[in-house]
């Protein structure tokens, strides 16, 4: 059986399709010109939530410096946006880069140039296969932490320098329900997302005097192309029933992106240090 996930055709068994939680009904509504004159960096822009956020910002008139390790995803999105005939569409600048590399990150900020940097969305991240602590290997733990935490540190430092000089800016870190719960992922991913939320709160307090807002979004079940398979029978047996019992619905990448968009806008000017759970109530269980 074929189904569409994150805009891509995926072959799934009928049993897999029936086991997927229902999708929350929601329709994206574009607000033309809302990001006119604004420049936002979005990491992980080649697919999933990052792609959805980057696409919406550009379609609402903004300039996005889209960053991804996958050049094909960036090229495909750039082509879609370039062919959008809607009046007032902004600009998409693609930068193929490894967000754990300071040298690659320097190229990202070269692409921003002298523009005012209005926002940064730290979205790039990888899952951990739901590996529990007693099965976790050092190399896998270190990779998860380097991408999910280290890249946020490295991407945010130069953003803060620009924003402090401007006395303005908004940063949104894409965390996870695993950042506020112990039962939503494996050990490495859970640890990394808790760290991201701690970083968010600390930065929010330290930089509010510069009118820099730092918030996080914590998605629950979201339809993206991130590999969310259980690669440990131990964790599957332990967490699987808990997740199924939560009874929450899946969100589209575009719906989670809408939450990110709100935190970037001036409508959220008095909000900083917040972790917004985008999880259909799973966080309240």
pLDDT tens readout for residues 163-176: 999 999 999 999 99
Q: Is a pLDDT exceeding 70 seen at residue 23? A: yes
Fold of 2-284: Rossmann fold (3.40.50)
Using a 10 angstrom Cβ sphere, with 0-12 exposed, 13-18 middle and 19 or more buried, the burial of residue 211 is middle
Helices 48-59 and 71-82: crossing angle in degrees, nearest 10, is 30
- Ordered by start, the domain boundaries in the chain are 2-284
* DSSP of 98-148: -TT-HHHHHHHHHHHTTS---EEEE------TT--GGG--HHHHHHHHIII
Give the residue carrying structure tokens 């990448």: 253
Q: What is the pTM for the complete model shown?
A: 0.87
Q: What is the pLDDT of residue 12?
A: 38
Q: What is the pLDDT of residues 41-95, one digit of tens each?
A: 999 999 999 999 999 999 999 999 999 999 999 999 999 999 998 889 999 999 9
When computed from its CA atoms, the radius of gyration of the chain, rounded to whole angstroms, is 18
Catalytic residue among 109, 189, 207, 234: 189
Annotation marks residue 189 as catalytic: yes
């Amino acid at each position: 059986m074929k189904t569409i996930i994150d805009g891509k055709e995926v072959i799934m068994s009928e049993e897999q399709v029936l086991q997927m939680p229902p999708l929350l009904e929601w329709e994206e509504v574009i607000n033309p010109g809302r990001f006119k004159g604004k420049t936002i960096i979005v990491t992980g822009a080649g697919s999933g939530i990052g792609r959805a956020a980057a696409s919406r910002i550009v379609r609402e008139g903004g300039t996005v410096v889209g960053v991804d390790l996958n050049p094909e995803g960036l090229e495909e999105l750039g082509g879609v946006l370039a062919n959008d005939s809607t009046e007032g569409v902004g600009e998409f600048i693609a930068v193929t880069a490894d967000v754990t590399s300071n040298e690659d990150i320097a190229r990202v900020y070269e692409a921003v140039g002298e523009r005012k940097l209005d926002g940064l969305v730290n979205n790039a991240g990888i899952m951990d296969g739901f590996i529990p602590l007693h099965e976790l290997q050092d190399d896998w733990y270190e990779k998860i932490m380097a991408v999910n935490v280290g890249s946020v540190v490295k991407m945010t430092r130069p953003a803060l320098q620009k924003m402090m000089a401007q006395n303005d800016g908004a940063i949104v870190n894409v965390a996870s329900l695993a950042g506020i719960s112990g039962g939503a992922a494996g050990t490495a991913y859970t640890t990394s997302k808790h760290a991201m939320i701690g970083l968010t709160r600390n930065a929010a307090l330290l930089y509010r005097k510069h009118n820099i807002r730092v918030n996080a979004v914590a998605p629950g079940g979201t339809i993206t192309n991130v590999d969310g398979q259980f690669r440990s029978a131990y964790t599957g047996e332990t967490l699987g029933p808990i997740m199924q019992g939560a009874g929450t619905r899946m969100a589209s990448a575009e719906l989670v992106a809408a939450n990110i968009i709100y935190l970037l806008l001036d409508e959220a000017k008095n909000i900083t240090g917040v972790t917004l759970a985008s999880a259909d109530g799973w966080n309240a269980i």
